[in-house]
Chain A
Amino acid sequence: MLTRSRLPGAQATLCATLLLGITLPALAGSGVRPPRPAPELTSPRPTTDPDDEFSTASDNRPKTSDPLEVLNRGIFAFNHQVYRFLLRPLARATEAVIPKPVLTRIGYVFDNFETPVRVVSSLLQANFSRAGKETGKLLINSTVGLGGLMRPSDHFACLADVPDEDVGQAFGKWGIPQGPYVVLPILGPSSLRDLPGKAADSALNPTIWVGSNAVRYSLTGTRNVLLNPGRIKAYDLARDGALDQYLAIRESYLSYRAEAVRR
């Protein structure tokens, strides 16, 4: 499944999945509630007033910038075939070989490893509290959590729900607008603002600092293979309910990113 790593595209697809699948219970098989500290219940405030949205007289939603729509749709169609013939079979093979709990734990390790991306992004926004929390999580999960295999930090209320940060969000905080929507080959949704953000995230990711090229490529490859089943599942799930899959994923991505910057 998706981890809380820097995968805005995949997370936006998950959002689309959640929305199109009505809501969260559609994704859960049991109502078991383990005792946990109450996370911060901050409402994701509506982007429009419910009454305005109910009104059929006008539509004041901001217009999406998508001047590359024709090209984007072409890449979207290309990605669909790549997912269908390459990544989906790979995802099935991965899940057949590696049990889900193991996949989840390894995802946690990569998530832990990528803490510098979140710390630096928080610092770029002068959010020292969040940078401190991320550092605290890293220390706890790397030691008590056996290198990040477990997340004991979730048992501390102040560390249980630290919003993810990335450089693209920092750009957003600085007031840089999202810019035109862009679909990248294989990687999926992005925007003019998020493209350099993604590049910076990659540069801050320790998986590209360590060892020789062989080690770096192995780590990056392993990470992508392990995260692939979650991405493919989210993508597949999003396809059913959408009348226009391209638009559904575009709007989910842009709204998700706007909310991430706000939070």
Chain B
Amino acid sequence: MFSPTVRASLSSVVILCASAAWVQAKPESAETVLDHSLHELMQIAESNKGATPAQLAKKARPLLERLFNFESLTKRAVGPGWRELSAEQQQQAVTLFSEILIRSYAARFDWHNKLDIQFAPPVDVGGGHSEVAAVSRYAGNVIHVLYRMESSGSAWRVYDVVVEGVSMASNYRTQFDAIRQRGGGEALLKSMKENLN
């Protein structure tokens, strides 16, 4: 029915399509997710040079919301006090905390220094969690970073960043604890709102 040449061509097309579908279906490793996301962030920054922090935050927000599991990060930052918050307060805490982090990111972008970052292969720490170590050179300094990630559906998302031994979730937990112990969940939410104003 088909000549050998046509059959060969059809077979190639079928194989290519099948391969493409397989590649698309295969979830990215934690390291690849990080690598791609950080490069995408840099591209966003590069194409928005001179943008105000608010503009940059708006542009970067979708990517940051994809890369970070802000709900998980907020739970860890609030720690034992999480259960004392009502469902509504918990939702508010996630929204406010993610806003604080995204705004901080945008406000602190340094256009003048180049980032050189190398990732180690992810280490499976069990329970759907992985850790990706990275070494970065920034402004003449060598900085060690550990990205803690969890498998969220089909994708890896960051739930904590440890820079030179300093955990973001742990650092915020110390602050949140002190505020919560003084005035409870309401005081914590109020403090977050004040930070954003």
Contacts and interface: CB of A to CB of B under 8 A. Distances in A.
Interface of A: 1-4, 11-12, 14-34, 36, 38-51, 53-54, 56-59, 61, 64, 100, 104, 107-108, 151, 160-161, 230, 237, 240-244, 247-248, 250-252, 255-256, 258-260, 262-263
Contact of B113 (A21, A28, A57, A244): A28
Contact of B83 (A21, A25, A56, A242): A56
Contacts of B174: 64, 247-248, 250-251
Contact of B115 (A24, A44, A160, A247): A24
A29 B111 contact: yes
Contacts of B81: 56
The range of chain B's interface size is 35 or more
Given A22-B168, A23-B105, 14 more contacts: A11-B164, A15-B165, A19-B166, A22-B161, A23-B161, A24-B143, A29-B113, A33-B116, A39-B118, A44-B144, A59-B177, A243-B172, A259-B166, A263-B165
B146 interface: yes
Interface stretch (B6-14, B16-24, B131-139): B131-139
A225 to B, nearest CB: 18
A252 B146 contact: no
User: Which 7 A/B pairs are nearest by Cβ-Cβ distance?
Assistant: A259-B165, A28-B115, A241-B104, A43-B133, A21-B108, A1-B139, A29-B111
Contact of B114 (A29, A100, A108): A29
B184 interface: no
B118 A38 contact: yes
Given A27-B109, A240-B107, A251-B174, A43 B120 contact: yes
**Chief secondary structure at chain B's binding surface:** mixed
Contacts of A240: 103-104, 107-108
Contacts of A49: 125
A255 B115 contact: no
B116 A34 contact: yes
B140 A107 contact: yes
Nearest to A36: B116
B79 A59 contact: yes
A24 B133 contact: no
A1 B143 contact: no
A70 B126 CA distance: 42
B108 A51 contact: no
Contact of A24 (B76, B104, B123, B136): B136
Given A26-B105, A28-B114, A46-B131, A247 B175 contact: yes
A49 B131 CA distance: 11
A260 B165 contact: yes
Interface of B: 38-39, 41-43, 45-46, 49, 64, 68, 72, 75-76, 78-83, 100-120, 123, 125-127, 129, 131, 133-148, 150, 158-179, 191-192, 195
A12 B164 CA distance: 9
Given A15-B163, A256-B165, A2 B141 contact: yes
B140 A1 contact: yes
B146 A43 contact: yes
Contacts of B141: 1-4, 14
A242 B139 CA distance: 23
A243 B162 contact: no
Contact of A262 (B114, B165, B166): B165
A25 B38 contact: yes
Contacts of B135: 39-41, 161
Contact of A53 (B118, B123, B144, B169): B169
B104 A22 contact: yes
Interface centre among A1, A38, A58, A258 (most CB of B within 10 A): A1
A256 B166 CA distance: 6
B144 A243 contact: no
Nearest to B140: A104
